[in-house]
Amino acid sequence: MPNKFVDCDGHVMENTDEIIRLVGEPFKTTGHMNPRRVLPSLDRFHTPRLEERKPGTFDPSVGPEKWVQFLDKMGLEFSALFPTEGLAYGQVAFSPWAIAYAKAYNDWLCANYMKYNTRLKGIALIPLQDVPAAVTELRRAVKELGMVGAMLPSNGLNPHLSAKHFWPVYEEAAKLDCALAVHGGCYGDLGFNTYTVFPATRALGMPVPLAIAATGMIVDGVFDEFPTLRVGFLEGGTCWIPMVLDRLAREQEYGGLKIKRRPVDYFTSGKIFCSCEGNEKALAYAIERVGPAPFMFASDFPHEISLDNCLEEIDEIQVRKDLKDEHKAAILGENARRYYKI
């Protein structure tokens, strides 16, 4: 199959032992690292839960070789690789460890995936627990390691992602002309992790943090201050976008919300991006509201799909009758190339 599609969001299955070996001082000689406790849990469910998984999903044996097999089978030009356990990175409270782990993880990702095949594009972890260190690591990851952007945790940080405290990171990303991505998957302290059934936690825990992050960045002026900044909101579908648009427009109508543009204008600016799932009914309506430019195909491999059923993901978009052909082409490749500048 010719390589004509683009995957905006895939995942690596971290090899914790290898990452720990790359951790620098002071942890290398004086620190104690438990390989089972290098990062916090995503929520109260991810370690012990009763849930049947489809065969081949969350396969810990997936490494760079299987990733390239996946790219070839799917007809993918490239995939942007995010962490798995690292989705909880924002919950790390000890900033020296956040700094050390980010550097080690980024070096591991570059050495084991990016250098294995240039179609595997790295997304960096940056230690937002220490903003100057995050700026430094973002610059190193992009300029020295060749990564195409960095992940912003969807949950766990204090203050909020939109706070001016974090604006030096956004300024640096704009200068570097790289992508930033708020990635769903960490549900702690939002109320969902107290549900007794994990699928309900996942159902709301993926999109709601993205809605919170996007709303904050709009109303606190991040996109006005940094008009060239490109931010993606990944793995929460598209259903949250109309909700944010309508609720913010309502507040503007009341007169209490003072922002420089209409809420919809931020989503049509070409600087906000969103991953989508091929079979979600909300996609067509989201396109009706903001156009096709924000939306990108995401495989989530090797989490929810396997090498055996991966082609279904592309097919679900291609066979849809409620999407125009030019919209399908944008979703399956053009938008992600623009987002990652590849």
Instruction: Give me the residue spans of the domains in the chain.
Output: 5-340
Q: Which residues contact 167 (CB under 8 A, 6 or more apart)?
A: 222, 225, 226
Considering only CA atoms, give the Rg of the chain: 19
* Cβ-contact 211, 196 below 8 angstroms: no
Q: Which residues contact 24 (CB under 8 A, 6 or more apart)?
A: 100, 103, 104
Q: Which of 242, 288, 287, 245 is nearest to 264 (CA)?
A: 245
Please give the pLDDT value at position 340. 98
Its pTM surpasses 0.85: yes
Structure tokens at 233: 């909101």
CATH architecture, domain defined by 5-340: Alpha-Beta Barrel (3.20)
Give the chain's residues under pLDDT 50: none
Q: Which of 19, 15, 121 is nearest to 68 (CA)?
A: 121
Instruction: Compute the distance between CA of residue 157 and CA of residue 176 in angstroms, rounded to an integer.
Output: 23
User: Strand, coil or helix: what is 4?
Assistant: coil
Instruction: Compute the distance between CA of residue 64 and CA of residue 108 in angstroms, rounded to an integer.
Output: 12
Instruction: Compute the distance between CA of residue 135 and CA of residue 129 in angstroms, rounded to an integer.
Output: 11
Place of tokens 């769903």: 184
**Cβ burial, residue 50 (10 Å; 0-12/13-18/19+):** exposed
Please give the pLDDT value at position 49. 54
Instruction: Compute the distance between CA of residue 318 and CA of residue 212 in angstroms, rounded to an integer.
Output: 31
Angle (nearest 5°) at CA 240 between 294 and 256:
100
